[in-house]
Amino acid sequence: MTLANDEVGGSTQPMLAVRGLVKHFPLKKDLLGRSAGVVRAVDGVSFDVFKGETLGVVGESGCGKSTTARLLMQLISHDQGELVFDGQTVGSNSLPLKDYRRQAQMVFQDSYASLNPRLTMEDSIAFAPMVHGLPEREAIERARDLLERVGLAPQRFAERYPHELSGGQRQRVNIARALALQSRLIILDEAVSALDKSVEAQVLNLLLDLKEAFGLTYIFISHDLNVVRYMSDRVMVMYLGQVVEVGDSETLFKHAAHPYTQALLSSIPTLDPDRRTETPPLAGDPPNPINPPSGCRFHTRCVHAQAICSEKMPVLAPAQHGQQVACWMHVAGAAHTGAPDAQGMVKPLEVAA
């Protein structure tokens, strides 16, 4: 079994193709066996991750980002959908789960909880390689080398315990651990969210360095839009278990198409007195993932909502500047006054800045 490399399938084949991922969590049943419903954590998510890019994933708490991350790592199994890595279905005979796990690894948010309090740093890092057959000597060597790479001197840190390190140092160890299997895809689930700003900057730069040095591909999940902008080549916006917009990073930030994305962007606090936020970007309360709104899930909070929005769910379709949007206003001929007509002519409409 040869290790896949970046030439597999050519540069246009996505490293990871996600199709129709669904995960519902059942709620406790009552005495008579009637279920109180399901939490639709991830409800039909499809996207591609291309070799060598950083895909940012943003959204509010509860939008399904972390669940998606865990589904991608197969830490929980999906109800429907499939994952295709380098053209092979994950979990099939050609790509068993254990082999997939060598290719994709994850860095978690809580740096302390991610490390076994009883293991030294080098032991934590060396665990995964040893599981995959590397002899202990070499695994420890690799662990020490990785510690060096993430900027922690092995003499000082290799035989320490988690409680002796700071948050930033622990997260570096977690990154080293994620690299221990020489994986090509690294999922970073709010990896820097719990760090102080100054430390965060250092770790982000470390991530960029490592990406170049090892030719990595990142999925960068965060709620912090500025950080996502800094790190990502493309960005995906999630809302209530679905993807609402995905596109090139700069394009998205300058020409956000989906009303939700626009609302998110306008909520970034700014110190510029000329760009005060006059009206609140979002109306209404965040809805319930147990009982999501009908049709477009955002329609209850959308300032542009119309009848069609509560009736039919929009799917991802190409929009004006090259991104994909799930919104009736960008579907030619849709029954929405803001939609382009059948010839693709866009009618001018007040779009909140």
Partner 1 sequence: MTSLNAAASPVLPLVYERSAGYWETVGRRFLRDKVAVGAALVVLLLMVLAVFGPWLAPMDPYQSAMLKRLKPIGFEGHPLGTDELGRDMLTRLMVGAKLSLFMGITPVVCAFFIGSLIGITAGYTGGWVNSVMMRTIDVFYAFPSVLLAIALSGALGAGITNSLISLTIVFIPPLARVAESVTTQIRERDFVEAARASGASAFTIVRVHVLGNVLGPIFVYATSLIAVSMILASGLSFLGLGVKPPEPEWGLMLNTLRTAIYSQPWIAALPGAMIFMTSIAFNLLADGLRSAMEIKQ
Residue 66-85 contact track with partner 1, rule CB under 8 A, x = bound: -------x-x----------
Among 170, 177, 297, 330, binds partner 1 (CB under 8 A): 177
H or E element, residue 106: strand 104-107
Residue 115-154 contact track with partner 1, rule CB under 8 A, x = bound: xxxxx----x--xx--xx------------------xxxx
To the nearest whole angstrom, how small is the minimum distance from the Cβ of residue 8 to partner 1?
20
Cα-based distances in Å from 321 to 6, 185, 253, 254, 343: 29, 28, 11, 10, 17
Among 54, 105, 261, 306, binds partner 1 (CB under 8 A): 105
Q: Is 286 in the site for partner 1 (CB under 8 A)?
A: no
Q: In what order do the strands lie in the sheet with 88-89?
A: 38-49, 16-26, 80-85, 88-89
Instruction: Work out the angle between the directed axes of helices 136-149 and 121-131 (0-180°, nearest 10).
Output: 130
| Cα 158 from Cα 253, distance rounded (Å) | 41
**Residue 176 DSSP class:** H
To the nearest whole angstrom, how small is the minimum distance from the Cβ of residue 52 to partner 1?
22
Which one, 217 or 323, has the nearer CB to partner 1?
Answer: 217
**Residue 4 DSSP class:** P
Cα-based distances in Å from 255 to 41, 55, 111, 132, 263: 28, 18, 35, 46, 12
| Cα 23 from Cα 241, distance rounded (Å) | 9
To the nearest whole angstrom, how small is the minimum distance from the Cβ of residue 169 to partner 1?
10
Q: Is 25 in the site for partner 1 (CB under 8 A)?
A: no
Which one, 156 or 347, has the nearer CB to partner 1?
Answer: 156
96-131 burial, b for 16+ CB within 10 Å, e for fewer? eeebbbbbbbbbbbebeebbeeeebbbbbbbebbbe
To the nearest whole angstrom, how small is the minimum distance from the Cβ of residue 283 to partner 1?
36
Pick the piece of the chain touching partner 1 (CB under 8 A) from 16-24, 103-111, 209-217, 321-329.
103-111
Pick the piece of the chain touching partner 1 (CB under 8 A) from 51-59, 80-88, 95-103, 284-292.
95-103
Task: List interacting residues with partner 1 (CB under 8 A).
Answer: 73, 75, 97-98, 101-102, 105-106, 108, 110, 113-119, 124, 127-128, 131-132, 151-156, 158-161, 164, 174, 177, 181
